[in-house]
Structure 1
Amino acid sequence: MAAIEKLLNVALPPLSFLLLSTFMLPFLLFKILLYVRKLVAHTDENLEDKVVLITGAASGIGEQLAYAYGRRGALLSLVDIRKDKLEIVADKAKSLGSPDVTIIAADVSKLQDCHRFVDHTVNHFGRLDCLVNNAGIGKPSEFKDWSNHDSEFTPIMDVNFWGSVYGSLCAIPHLKTSKGRIIVVASALGWFPLPGSSIYNASKAAVINYFETLRMELGWAIGITIVTPGLVKTDLGFKLTKKESIMGIVPMALASELAESIVKSGCRGDMYLTEPSWVKVLFPLKVLYPQVVDWASRFCFGLSPKSIN
């Protein structure tokens, strides 16, 4: 076994480089052809009378998603822990074109609540076509902010990760019947973490990893679109820029524009959506030059051995 491991250590790196060099050009051409085909022949999925369940729909991206789907005539099931704000969103979504909107006050971090809002949706509309796992919370925090009390930070993982997992597990049987789709709103910080949001970054990395695995396990039964936005003009985005002044120079996307992109991406059946698109450039930098990225992050955020004492 040791000999095999040594052989793999020596042989695989150059072999993988050779394979990548050989297949990169054909793969890029294939991607270009697919892109052109989508531009020329593809039409957006008709969402009229499709049932869309959106979590975290009382504000931010979730609120804008309700309006975007409503304009396309979708039937909406809106979930949030703040029912009073859901009522306002529901009324506006109806005025924009949604034939029917039901609202459910629920905590996505509780499995029983997830069963309840999925069952309510199916009982009300008779089906479920799309689940949008959008509910999320965050708090800028460094390791030195940890006070040995988990009550301040565990809700971030409970809502961001388990909230998406629980809702999906409850919805999957119904989505299989309708051949529907799961859309999960993660974050670019899940694969390009920045200082000052360690727990939030970790929760979004877990979301990305889980749903990539789930997509493999489900095969073609249910489509899954993983959304990894950059900074967005939401309460959470403003919290981050307020704590870290350097983040103020990063352009922030509008939640309404992101919501439109998410709806279109789901209709196209995309595996991933990263908005704004320039954020995609950061991924190869992280993979190919991790030392440079770490150094640049420490420099930009003013981190040094003295700053963490």
Structure 2
Amino acid sequence: MTILISLPPLLFLRFVISNLRYIFSENVAGKVVLITGASSGIGEHLAYEYARRGACLALVARRRQHLQNVAKTAHHLGAPDVIVIPADVSKLEDSKHFITETVEHFGRLDHLVNNAGIATMSMFEEFTCVTNAAPVMETNFWGSVYSTHFAIPHLRTSKGKIIVIASSGAWLPAPRLALYSASKAALVIFFETLRVELGGDIGITIVTPGLIESELTKGKFLSPEGKMVVDQEMRDVSHF
């Protein structure tokens, strides 16, 4: 299933949350769900929705304190067990570690939510060294490929699902987002092809949202110099 969505920020989050019953049709109470990029944005809110429905959670992101805050809220909302695993999805060994740790802790894996991502907000010509853009593909594309590779054997056993949070940028070109959009387009075609390869053994849902409220809309993105920066003007506008 591929879901194409282009809605204002708050409406999109409400749309996702209100339609989880359709997207994730089975009863997830007691099932094990691993979410990457779970410290903020879509990943955080998906964690809360799964928690309300009684799922056990493995929350993955780079910022431990943010993850612990999300885990605390998820417990309060009804998740019977939550673990936090600080990790960088763009690193192969980190991805192997958080899949292994999840299965060792819970004994199974039912849903893998590939959500982690970063963005650029620069014209392509502004990159004085094009390799500075490599983290976008490494995180947005390879991060999901790595986690999926290690998760597939466990998802086959559980007849589980992979949920992929891509972007409308995969099919809707926009200035200053060439590298970000390319990474999301690669993500979509990879999982469309993987769906054919896996057949009915593992379900795959691809969501391609439009602009939503996230750290990107709050001014955090990868600069042409290859550093994560915060544009205060963008952050101020997002709070207007």
Could you tell me the TM-score, scaled by structure 2's length? 0.81
Q: Say if 2:168 is the partner of 1:168.
A: no
Residue 123 of structure 2 corresponds to which residue in structure 1? 142
- Rate the CA distance shift 1:182–1:70 in 2: closer, same or farther, 3 A: same
209, 212, 221: which one aligns with 2:201: 221
Q: Say if 2:121 is the partner of 1:128.
A: no
Residue 68 of structure 1 corresponds to which residue in structure 2? 49
Runs (4 or more) in structure 1 with deviation over 3 Å come to none
Q: Distance in 1 between matches of 2:218 and 2:84?
A: 27
Residue 54 of structure 1 corresponds to which residue in structure 2? 35
Q: Give me the CA root mean square deviation.
A: 2.3
Going by fraction, where is helix more abundant, 1 or 2? 1
Q: Distance in 2 between matches of 1:202 and 1:184?
A: 15
Post-superposition offset of 1:111: 0.9
Percent sequence identity over matched residues? 56
188, 192, 201: which one aligns with 1:212: 192
Give the structure, 1 or 2, with the largest relative contact order (CA under 8 Å, sep 6 or more): 2
Amino acid at match of 1:86: L
Residue 179 of structure 2 corresponds to which residue in structure 1? 199
Post-superposition offset of 1:44: 3.7
Post-superposition offset of 1:101: 0.1
Q: Distance in 2 between matches of 1:120 and 1:44?
A: 27
Counterpart contact for 2:112–2:161, Cα < 8 Å: yes
Going by fraction, where is strand more abundant, 1 or 2? 2
Alignment of 1:1-309 (within 5 A): 44-151=25-132, 153-239=133-219
| Count of residues in correspondence between the two structures | 205
Could you tell me the TM-score, scaled by structure 1's length? 0.63
Post-superposition offset of 1:109: 0.5
Post-superposition offset of 1:208: 0.4
Post-superposition offset of 1:238: 3.8
Q: Secondary structure at the match of 1:236?
A: coil
Q: Distance in 2 between matches of 1:133 and 1:75?
A: 16
